[in-house]
Each structure stands twice: as C-alpha cells, then as structure tokens.
Amino acid sequence: MDLASVNSLSYEDFVEVFGNVVEKCPIVAAAVWSRRPFSSLADLEASYNDFIDTLPESGKEGILRLHPDLAGRDLQGGTLTRESREEQGKAGLDTLTTLEVSRMARLNTEYKGHFGFPFVICARMNDKVTILRQLEERLG
Ligand SMILES: NC(=O)N[C@H]1NC(=O)NC1=O
C-alpha cells in the first residue's frame, strides 16, 4: 500500500489496517487518522509517537497494561494477536519448558505487583535468555 492509498483510507479502513500498531489500542490509529495526509512513513510513525507522547502518564500506563504477558496465558491459550504471536515466537517464548513458563509467570506477576503494569520489551529483538535477564534486572 503506497502513501497516497494510506492517505485516502476512510478512518474505518485506516483503523482496520493500522489498528494494532499499538497492541490492542485501535484508538491510537483512530486518532492518528486525523493527522493525514502523511508526507512519508516516517511522518506516519511520528504521528503515532506524538499522540502517545502527549498522553497523560495514566494513558501511557494504560497502553502498557494492554500488552500481553510474555509467555503468558494469551500465548498458552492461543489468544495472542497475530503480531504478538509472531514477536513472541521469534524470541522462542512458544517453546519454553514448563519450568521456564512457571518462572516467567512468577516474575511477571511480581513485576505487575511492583509497577502496576506488565513487563514490556521488544520480544523480536530478544530471546528467552535476554528477556528473563532484563525482567530480573528491572525487578532488582
Ligand atoms: N509484554 C510484552 O512485552 N509483550 C509484547 N512485546 C512484544 O514484542 N510482543 C508482545 O506480545
């Protein structure tokens, strides 16, 4: 889809295409549609970033809270979005041992109890070793 096509999308179609750029937050796409026409892909990306940056802390925390746990019940239950399924799969989180799943669940629960939102990391740029290391480091 070229830029002219993106800029000519109805807001319904724009949300259909770009609604999960921010995991489970189609409202961001619905809001960003108002900023068209986009002069480039970078401009579209910047529009997303600008919208999120202007949210109050509670709004940013709300976006984090809609992220599925890594190797969590959504992955185990097959209810991840396509994007998250691919991302978590690339990190090898879909082939953890039972013991590793339990350890992730315990650490995720501890993290959410401490911070009030889930541990969020770019899974496709990590693997199960670095993800577990980062999770433990952030818990201190
Ligand atoms: N909790 C968390 O980081 N989840 C997201 N990260 C990612 O790359 N894919 C996800 O599902």
Domain check: are 76 and 118 in the same one? yes
Q: What is the span of the domain harbouring residue 131?
A: 68-139
70 Cβ closer than 6 Å to some ligand 1 atom = yes
Q: What's the pLDDT score for residue 21? A: 96
87 Cβ closer than 6 Å to some ligand 1 atom = yes
User: Which CATH number do you get for residue 107?
Assistant: 1.10.3330.10
Angle (CA) 49 65 84, round 5°: 75
Q: What's the pLDDT score for residue 118? A: 98
User: Can you tell me which atom of ligand 1 is nearest the CA of 119?
Assistant: 1
User: Can you tell me which atom of ligand 1 is nearest the CA of 81?
Assistant: 11
Domain check: are 129 and 74 in the same one? yes
Q: Is 67 a catalytic residue?
A: yes
ipTM comes to 0.96
Alpha-helical runs (H) found in the chain: 3-7, 11-18, 26-32, 41-53, 57-65, 73-77, 82-90, 98-115, 128-139
Find the catalytic residue in 44, 67, 118, 128.
Answer: 67
Closest CA to 23 of 54, 62, 78, 73: 62
**Number of domains composing the chain:** 2
Domain check: are 133 and 101 in the same one? yes
CA 4 / ligand 1 centre spacing (Å):
31
Angle between the N-to-C axes of helices 41-53 and 57-65, in degrees from 0 to 180, rounded to the nearest 10? 110
Q: What's the pLDDT score for residue 87? A: 96
The one-digit pLDDT tens for each residue of the chain (140 residues) are 999 999 999 999 999 999 999 999 999 999 999 999 999 999 999 999 999 999 999 999 999 999 999 999 999 999 999 999 999 999 999 999 999 999 999 999 999 999 999 999 999 999 999 999 999 999 99
Domain check: are 112 and 88 in the same one? yes
CB 14 within 8 A of CB 47: no
Domain check: are 75 and 130 in the same one? yes
Q: What's the pLDDT score for residue 13? A: 98
Quick one: 93 exposed, middle or buried, by C-beta within 10 A (0-12, 13-18, 19+)?
buried
Domain check: are 135 and 110 in the same one? yes
CA 83 / ligand 1 centre spacing (Å):
9
CA 8 / ligand 1 centre spacing (Å):
31
Domain check: are 57 and 119 in the same one? no
Closest CA to 47 of 57, 56, 37: 37
CB 69 within 8 A of CB 108: yes
CA 34 to chain centre: 22
User: Can you tell me which atom of ligand 1 is nearest the CA of 84?
Assistant: 11
Amino acid letter at 117? Answer: F
Q: What's the pLDDT score for residue 19? A: 97
